[in-house]
Structure 1
């Protein structure tokens, strides 16, 4: 499918076996047949050799950099090391970076591509469900700061996205479920019929049934591509809808410290449930629909509340402080993405702080 951004538009290829054909698919999009592959140790062991063979077959020269796995890799330290390595190996402006991995690698490699030599091309080759349906599409790149997640970055669109659904079979079940939270998000934003479909087919998507999995990835990519085409850099507000559940999720991740105890998708799952609850509390959403959201999230094995979080002294005040650093803050107020029913996401800049505090207090007491 096509992400329609005029001169910055690009194709998304989805299907089993795409990785083995990556070189042939990539070659027409390259300005020079030389790429720098960025990956992590876990993905390198599973998939780097396949990509290297595909690049060899297409006559594309490459240099691979293998980074540590995990959310902590999205840091200033790793970013500096990566950029220094690219410059040391004399990357040129007609070269391209290839991000082979999940959301961490995609975001970090994309940010490096946006900044090194003031910008070079890059290709996303996402290897997790979360990256295939969300982070690899749309050109958001960045790293985390001690002040919060994704607070440093740039909009920089890839030249191509190659999503091999076959590689998802190598994911641990926990990682696969975490990515599924982002799939559910699209049904709640503006595609209620997709949410209904997921209620019936979500188990098959997670169990690796080929047709439902491909449908889920394609539908989610199409949903994101449509929003990105309408609002590439979050100027009109449409793209901010993609943050449904994320204001809560990023606060939870910041409080957990990116130690791997809480995966991003798990935080999003909890965030979606809290957003649905807040929408119901404020009278935007029927309580029965909020229960449907929670029931589906629970049915696929994802966490639904703060009682699922690693044991520690959770504090409402600290969570609210993390939220105050959200990128959607305007004039000191957090803009929440809420729902007027399933598939009816909208931005609300007027949520009473007391309502959020009460919701979190109740969630912590559950």
Structure 2
């Protein structure tokens, strides 16, 4: 017969052992600061013994500090931001995108030479086709004892676009099980989405981004001057992620994009002939998108909850994007436009609001329809994959409830899915090219 136990006794300290007793014991562990592995990570925990000498329970929490900054001229010697990170260390170990190295490599090297900080650098091609476990393993060799032998408290510098942020971030997550890194995003996607994101990943056989770990950069530096040398197709591709946050979280951002989006695309965010007013608008758009994104992503760092506005447009696209070989931004806007039609079908969104969403995407040359949506078996398979990814509690598809707000559909039945595809096809049939955007395939920008 099990007897009721008295109230638990709360103890604190770093005790090495617990003597079983008739009273439940809870021991809290708050470790001295001198034992910290890294200045960016902390944690504490507790262990509760049942008192019967047969079982105990453990709980632990892990806290990290991450910062996102908009900067101007990050590789200019007059900007000390990076030097402040690395000057107290013996060197800077960097992973740099191949194209970025061709364009900015000398400037990066001169920057660290100016501050007399040794630089150890590896160049990595980072196309979508390079987003593989093999690339991650090559980076791990560079970081490990066969390469630079990076310490567990040594922040690796990662400079590049969204693919590099994913694979290099994953390599840092695996190296010593957690090595900090500083992210300098050089594309729009990396600057406002993939760069500061805690979700590092590589593509797997199941679906896009199916292998990964939660490991955000400790510092993200966003310098829109890099957008000057991007192909316009890459700027357009990244703007899809800004639209995503505008629709689901920030109606004022949506209005800014309606008014200035085309100018921002044409001038690469006011880096090609944009005036001072447009430059300020560019900074505001970037900041608002980042803030909305990290307000939800950063505070739900390990995706323990699925009320995630930034998953809008990403419920079906991870399955159909690689099949159709679409640019990520086009796949996302197709998913967003289709999701808006579903929201109309279930009464969450007005048709006029859906039309505004489609019109904004179209104004930037982004796609809102593709025949891949008509492969219902593929779409249902995508839902199955996503349901498992999100914990089997439901599909939890983010869908707009207005401009600047959203809710989450726990399930989308095959009947609703098929009816929505037919409805969306009809809506887009009157659009030029049936809703197809510009430079929509990976091959259009040489990324296959």
The question of a shared fold, defined as TM-score above 0.5 by the shorter chain, is answered with yes
Check conservation: 2:200, 2:214, Cα contact below 8 A.
yes
Q: What residue in structure 1 maps to residue 294 of structure 2?
A: 225
SS at match of 2:208: strand
Q: Deviations over 1:81-101 (max 9, x none)?
A: 221232111222232222111
Q: Give the deviation of 1:46 after TM superposition.
A: 1.1
Deviations 1:248-286 (A, max 9, x none): 221221313xxxx42111111111111111111111100
CA drift of 1:329 comes to: 4.0
The aligned counterpart of 1:76 is 133
Could you tell me whether the CA contact under 8 Å between 1:23 and 1:58 is conserved in 2? no
Map of 1:303 onto structure 2 = 367
Aligned mates of 1:226, 1:33 — CA distance in 2: 34
Unaligned ranges ≥5, structure 1? none
**Residues 29 and 160 of structure 1 are in contact (CA less than 8 Å); yes or no, is this contact kept in structure 2?**
no
Q: 2 CA distance for matches of 1:144 and 1:134?
A: 17
Matched-pair contact (CA < 8 Å) for 2:397–2:410: yes
CA contact (8 A) 1:110 1:156 kept: yes
- Shift of the 301–217 alpha-carbon distance from structure 1 to 2, 3 Å rule, reads same
In structure 2, do the counterparts of structure 1 residues 51 and 303 end up closer, same or farther at CA, with 3 Å as the change threshold? same
Superposition deviation, residue 194 in structure 1: 1.3
Q: Residue 294 of structure 1 aligns with which residue?
A: 358
Check conservation: 2:161, 2:190, Cα contact below 8 A. Answer: yes
SS in 1 for 2:210: strand
Match of 2:312 in 1: 244
Partner of residue 381 from structure 2, selected from 306, 311, 321: 321
- RMSD over aligned Cα atoms: 2.5
Whole-Å separation in 2 of the counterparts to 1:8 and 1:22: 30
**Which residue of 92, 95, 101 maps to 1:44?**
101
User: Which is bigger in relative contact order (C-alpha 8 A, separation at least 6)?
Assistant: 1
1:270 to 334, 338, 360: 334
Paired residues of 1:24 and 1:54 also in contact (CA < 8 A): no
Q: How many angstroms apart in 2 are the aligned matches of 1:338 and 1:198? A: 20
Other-structure match for 1:32: 89
- Runs of at least 5 residues in structure 2 that lack an aligned partner in the other structure: 1-41, 43-61, 271-278, 430-448
Aligned residue in 2 for 1:353: 414
Structure 1 residues 345, 246: closer, same or farther in 2, change over 3 A? same
Please say if residues 256 and 285 of structure 2, whose CA atoms lie closer than 8 Å, have aligned partners that are also in contact.
no
What is the CA distance between 1:37 and its match in structure 2? Answer: 1.7
- Map of 2:14 onto structure 1: none
Which shows bigger deviation, 279-288 or 203-212? Answer: 203-212
Contact 2:306 2:390 in 1 (8 A): no
In structure 2, what is the Cα distance between the partners aligned to 1:317 and 1:198?
A: 35
TM-score scaled by length of structure 1: 0.89
Alpha-carbon distance, 1:12 to partner: 2.1
Q: Provide closer, same or farther for how the CA distance between residues 291 and 348 of structure 1 changes in structure 2, counting only shifts above 3 A.
A: same
Contact 1:113 1:122 in 2 (8 A): yes
Q: Residue 357 of structure 2 aligns to a residue in which SS?
A: helix
In structure 1, the residue matched to 2:280 is 211
